[in-house]
Amino acid sequence: MARRNTYLAIALGAFFMFSLYLYNGIDTGSDMRIKRQEYVQNLQSKLGKLEEIAKANEKTIEQLEKELKEAKVEVENSRRNAIEEEVNDEEKNVGAEPKIDEEIDERRGNKVAHVHEVLQRNQKTTPSMSNVCGIRENVSSPNTELQMLDLYENWAFDNPDGGVWKQGFPITYDAEKVKSDEKLEVIIIPHSHCDPGWIFTFEEYYQRQTRNILNGMAKHLEAKESMKFIYAEVSFFELWWREQNEETRNRVRKFIEDGKLEIVTGGWVMTDEANAHYHSMLVELFEGHEWIQNHLGKAAKPKSHWSIDPFGLSPSLPHLLTSANITNAVLQRVHYTVKRELALKKNLEFYWRQLFGAAGHPDLRAHIMPFYSYDIPHTCGPEPAICCQFDFRRMPEGGKSCDWGIPPQKINENNVAQRAHMIYDQYRKKAQLFRNNVIFAPLGDDFRYDIDFEWDSQYENYQKLFDYMNNQNEWNVHARFGTVRDYFEALDAKLKSSETKLPTLTGDFFTYADRDDHYWSGYFTSRPFYKQLDRVLQHYLRSAELAFTLASIEEEGMVEAPIFQKLVQARRALSLFQHHDGVTGTAKDHVVLDYGKKMIEALRMCEDVLSEGLTILLGLDTTKPMQLDEYRENESVLPKRRVYSIGQNVVVFNPLARSRPEPVCIYVSSAEASIEAEPPIENQQISPVFNYAQNSLKIDDNVYELCFAVNLGPMTSASYRIVSDATRVHKVEILSNLSELKAPGFDLKELEPSISIGNTKVTAIFDTSGMLKTITHSADKTPIEMNAHFVHYGARKSQRKFANGNEDNPSGAYLFLPDGDAKRIDNDENSPIVIRGKCVSRVVSAPLSELQVLQTYSLLGEHDFLDMDTEVDVRSKENFELALRFETSVSSGDDFFTDLNGLQMIRRKRQSKLPIQANFYPMAAGVFVEDDKTRFTIHSAQALGVASLKSGAVEIMLDRRLSSDDNRGLQQGVRDNKRTVSRMRLLAEPMNAGGHGDKERIGFHSAVSHYATWSLHYPVVKMMAEATPKPISMKNFEAELNCDIHVVTMRTMAAPTAYESADMSMAAERKAALVVHRVVPDCRSKLKLPDEKCAFENEQISPISLIGTIKEARNSTLTALYEGEKMTKFEILPNDVKSIIISW
């Protein structure tokens, strides 16, 4: 079969090459034509024979394709079985970097196989970058055995009583049969889960416990020959490292080289996976990996992922991890029904594949821990009352106890036989849930190993248990201490010897429930004020990274070192907040304030970096720092806008790698203000500023909004002067029925019967209270109903028990447990204000005075989308959850799509068999509903919870105020609410027929929609500056990238920290990671980009064509742990996120 397929390919190739040859010779002389005609006749004869062969093969083509697919799957499975590590001590070449061109046997365990694959991606056959619309067919139907949405459709979610394993089922094994089975390998993994903020702040936890934990590690790993330990949170590790002498540091490096200590995942924190944007996830992962590389050595490069506490799991993180050469994962918080159903068929270990397919994107091999928690009672086996007796910290001397009333016993010669058999029995039962005779059991919990007693008691007692059970031949078991890497190496050996194949799985693990109907969908929205602040910092940090790197290239690395230190500190503040009790909004009040203070300080640092960077890029001769257009007085209030005076300058910076024609708006002190630019800006407008005060809309005296339409090139910075010249600007038209409203100098009219704003592309119509009714696009001219309104949920009482005897809990920071369906909130009779201008039009309303709602809809320039800002204050309520609901005319049925971390869109299906709270999902950046003709998308500038509870409906949670604790450890409700703004962008798209219907499990934004979310998350940076001699503009990218390419960041690399210096200085390297993301557009949309040539140019990306002064570019893994060969151009796979290291 394969040979015939090859012959056919050769024949077709010959035909193509000759056809090309003929085409090139069309205009040659007649003699040549005659000769070629003769040649063609001969070739036609040969082709006729080839056609006969092709016809003979016609019946086998389908079978060939089938076998080819099967072969690909076989190759993929073989590749997975390779041990995906770089060359290490065992191969006598510690830390050697794999070469891109070395010969690799990917089928039989070569340890550089996966890193080679990651580095080789740009050399593989990549879908043409010019054919952005043709890519979708190849990336939307991955071949997997397990698909989570399909499984949800099939499972009953009936929560039967499983006996001692309450959420599972009875487990038995044949004691005679196991004697002749392959030996059971048991690996006990000591660990300590350290939250960088939860009940205490990051620093408080370090002072109270984490310092002691790491001190104990350095002491006891040396003293105890067989002891091992894993650790995840680099933020704490770096803080501890500062205090150590070089002797201790070298001892720790030796532990790592010897395999006694493993750094797992290696991120700055153990990131949340619901609310965190992939950009920030990458920031925290990069920060941790860079620190490891700089200080712990090459043997410490993470190989395994450890995610035991985030409350639900996203495939976006595996995508980033595999691109960073991490290919094995341990996971914990998965819905208890999902665990049970996977365990029933021994599917708790699988290859987690991306929704967009396998081609070029490695799978992550995942292990889901089967039981309720990651603590010791729920990890050794199915019976927590027994497992708790083997947590020797819970002996009376350890200060902890077992909830089941039976304490551990110190192991001695009198009880070792009986105690060893007890835990051996648990290991055997746990092993029945997996396909191979190798298991692991974590030995730890939150902030464990903080006292010597625990190090001693766990080690000494377990060592006695190991020694006894390993000598019982009839038990056929070998138990030992180990690490996550040890476990997966043992699993590799078992898979290879048994020729067992693990299944593949696609989808995600939201929404998480740990018991009964207790779904953790509340934290998708908790503390929305700080979720929004998180994205503001993300934007300014990214902009500061770009400005610093571009300025450093311009100055050949001579930017002052203190500026780089501020950049690093801002990175670490954003990274810290990605912790799964940070951006989730699930920490104590004072801890939340501490996160906020750190982020506000980070914003000030970004301001300093941007000021320095843009000063260099624009060549400004000034010593006075620039200031960001907006500022915050503290960590608990919304930002204010600076007011520009005549004679000052506004400096702008476009942080996107593509041109953006859109208005820029600033506040000015004079109605006569205008912008002076070269060439002149024709489209300018001035309007009053409206604020909300005393439950009504007021005009802000002596402050005006000046908007001007510009087209900023990719990464362009510019400086414009503010002058007094009223002839340059258009005064807006204001419409309102508010009798007390006065706007001197402006045209003030009464509202028309139909309240609307529009441009040449889109028209939006509102009701009399300013709520959105319809959107109509000129591409279709069919109004799409919106019917926006506010609703609220109450919190159910917890005064009941479930049938299984479990106590109920109320809603809290984690749990969303409503008291029934949402109730509609009636609007006040307040009249909206309509502002119509040449480049910006707005509708401003205050529809709910009780909640002090201020809602502003804005139509910017000729954009296809409508911006919506909603300010709310729920502090007058108790046990109250506020949502904004759209009831559209889109016939979406039970289906809708939500984003995963801003990286991809996943199909959701409303499950009527599950409660309301189970049908809410995380919306990190967007949601859409669609039918054959229309799609309605909401892009969000912050993370919130979202649902579609009936066809065409989209419901977004805005804030929640709860008086009770939900019994998940926080020990408080959520009552520290702030006045909060949610920023969204609404896009109604007429669609052409087509697509894949129900079979697709992934969605794709259109090209216009991708631009909408990028420009929403990364708006034009505006800074207040002193006057410059003349307007200046600087194009910092020399070319524009394809419109399906997004520059995620340009991150200047850090040299090792000089811990011996007084200020622990951090110096910038003269190289940076250029990180790019290639999206897949849905070309069914009838909307078009203003300039679509970007979709059809630049087959490859050339870093030097973007920035001509760089010296070299190298291929790299995502977090630069592994660098490859020099390169001049590269391609990028669809949906991939890739790093290139540029040097100057």
What pLDDT score does 942 carry? Answer: 99
**84: pLDDT confidence band, cut at 50, 70 and 90?**
very low
Burial class (CB within 10 angstroms; exposed 0-12, middle 13-18, buried 19+) of 13: exposed
What pLDDT score does 999 carry? Answer: 75
Tell me: do 627 and 744 sit in the same domain: yes
What pLDDT score does 823 carry? Answer: 98
Tell me: do 461 and 535 sit in the same domain: no
Average pLDDT over residues 1008-1017: 98
Kindly give, in sequence order, each residue whose CB lies less than 8 Å from that of residue 425, ignoring residues fewer than 6 positions away.
Answer: 381, 386
Average pLDDT over residues 938-963: 99
Average pLDDT over residues 474-492: 98
Let me know if residue 716 belongs to a domain: yes
Tell me: do 799 and 912 sit in the same domain: yes
**1030: pLDDT confidence band, cut at 50, 70 and 90?**
confident
Cis before 396? omega within 30: no
Let me know if residue 750 belongs to a domain: yes
If one counts every other C-beta atom within 10 angstroms of the C-beta of residue 390, the result is 26
Which one of 309, 445, 534, 581 is the catalytic residue? 309
Tell me: do 295 and 440 sit in the same domain: yes
**1027: pLDDT confidence band, cut at 50, 70 and 90?**
confident
Residue type, 244: Q
- E-only strand ranges, 778-850: 784-785, 788-794, 823-824, 833-836, 840-845
**Is residue 742 a contact partner of residue 803, using CB atoms and an 8 Å limit?**
no
Pairing of strands 684-693, 640-641: unpaired
User: Annotated catalytic, 1082?
Assistant: no
DSSP assignments along 208-244, one per residue: IIIHHHHHHHHHHHHH-TT--EEE--HHHHHHHHTT-
Positive/negative CA dihedral, 534, 535, 537, 538: positive
**1033: pLDDT confidence band, cut at 50, 70 and 90?**
confident
Say whether pLDDT at 329 is over 60.
Answer: yes
The whole domain housing 57 covers 1-80
What pLDDT score does 16 carry? Answer: 46
Share of the chain above pLDDT 90, in %: 78
Positive/negative CA dihedral, 1130, 1135, 1141, 1144: positive
CA-nearest of 63, 71, 59, 156 to 107 is 71
Average pLDDT over residues 798-825: 92
Q: What is the CATH number of the domain that holds 920?
A: 2.70.98.30
Tell me: do 617 and 717 sit in the same domain: yes
DSSP designation for 398: G
What pLDDT score does 41 carry? Answer: 52
**Is residue 1131 a contact partner of residue 1100, using CB atoms and an 8 Å limit?**
yes
Q: Which of residues 506, 539, 573 is at a domain's end?
A: 506
Quote the CA–CA distance of 500 and 510 in Å, as a whole number: 29
Domains held by the chain: number: 3
Tell me: do 470 and 533 sit in the same domain: no
Give me the residues paired with residue 711 across strands: 661
CA-nearest of 599, 619, 622, 614 to 654 is 614
Tell me: do 500 and 563 sit in the same domain: no
**1063: pLDDT confidence band, cut at 50, 70 and 90?**
confident
Cis before 511? omega within 30: yes
What pLDDT score does 357 carry? Answer: 76
Average pLDDT over residues 233-255: 98
Say whether pLDDT at 69 is over 70.
Answer: no
Let me know if residue 888 belongs to a domain: yes
CA 296, distance to chain mean position in Å, is 27
Average pLDDT over residues 69-82: 44
Average pLDDT over residues 569-576: 99
Higher pLDDT: 797 or 134? It is: 797
Give me the residues paired with residue 756 across strands: 765
**116: pLDDT confidence band, cut at 50, 70 and 90?**
low
Which residue is it, tokens 């300013």? 770
State pTM to two decimals.
Answer: 0.90
For 258-304, how does the pLDDT look when each residue is reduced to its tens digit (9 = 90+)?
999 999 999 999 999 999 999 999 999 999 999 999 999 999 999 99
Average pLDDT over residues 1030-1040: 85
Q: Six-digit token pair at 611?
A: 């000021």
Q: Six-digit token pair at 772?
A: 């959105």
Let me know if residue 92 belongs to a domain: no
**141: pLDDT confidence band, cut at 50, 70 and 90?**
low
Tell me: do 499 and 533 sit in the same domain: no
Average pLDDT over residues 305-326: 98
Tell me: do 490 and 532 sit in the same domain: no
Say whether pLDDT at 8 is over 50.
Answer: no
Say whether pLDDT at 575 is over 90.
Answer: yes
Q: Which of residues 453, 475, 506 is at a domain's end?
A: 506
For 661-717, how does the pLDDT look when each residue is reduced to its tens digit (9 = 90+)?
999 999 999 999 999 998 899 999 999 999 888 878 989 889 999 999 999 999 999
For 399-438, how does the pLDDT look when each residue is reduced to its tens digit (9 = 90+)?
999 999 999 999 999 999 999 999 999 999 999 999 999 9
If one counts every other C-beta atom within 10 angstroms of the C-beta of residue 238, the result is 18
DSSP assignments along 1032-1044, one per residue: EEEE--SSPPPTT
If one counts every other C-beta atom within 10 angstroms of the C-beta of residue 52, the result is 10
Quote the CA–CA distance of 1127 and 1042 in Å, as a whole number: 19
Let me know if residue 812 belongs to a domain: yes
What pLDDT score does 27 carry? Answer: 42
Tell me: do 359 and 316 sit in the same domain: yes
For 730-758, how does the pLDDT look when each residue is reduced to its tens digit (9 = 90+)?
999 999 998 888 888 898 999 999 999 99
Let me know if residue 1120 belongs to a domain: no
Burial class (CB within 10 angstroms; exposed 0-12, middle 13-18, buried 19+) of 659: middle
Let me know if residue 175 belongs to a domain: no
DSSP designation for 441: E
Give me the residues paired with residue 388 across strands: none
Q: Six-digit token pair at 375?
A: 């603590």
CA-nearest of 214, 225, 254, 119 to 448 is 214
Tell me: do 227 and 366 sit in the same domain: yes
Is residue 697 within a helix (H) or strand (E), and if so which, with residue range?
strand 696-712
**Is residue 1001 a contact partner of residue 507, using CB atoms and an 8 Å limit?**
yes
3-state SS assignment for residue 533: helix
For 1081-1097, how does the pLDDT look when each residue is reduced to its tens digit (9 = 90+)?
998 999 999 877 676 56
For 630-674, how does the pLDDT look when each residue is reduced to its tens digit (9 = 90+)?
999 999 999 999 999 999 999 999 999 999 999 999 999 999 999
Let me know if residue 145 belongs to a domain: no
Higher pLDDT: 93 or 562? It is: 562
For 189-226, how does the pLDDT look when each residue is reduced to its tens digit (9 = 90+)?
999 999 999 999 999 999 999 999 999 999 999 999 99
CA end-to-end span of the chain: 52
CA-nearest of 732, 742, 735 to 770 is 735
Q: 65-79, 191-205, 843-857 — which is least confidently predicted?
A: 65-79
Tell me: do 500 and 546 sit in the same domain: no
Burial class (CB within 10 angstroms; exposed 0-12, middle 13-18, buried 19+) of 594: buried
Which residue is it, tokens 């009964």? 516
What pLDDT score does 434 carry? Answer: 98
Say whether pLDDT at 15 is over 60.
Answer: no
**Is residue 324 a contact partner of residue 293, using CB atoms and an 8 Å limit?**
no
Output the average pLDDT for the chain.
89
Q: Which of residues 44, 65, 80 is at a domain's end?
A: 80
Average pLDDT over residues 1000-1023: 96
Q: Six-digit token pair at 536?
A: 């503001």
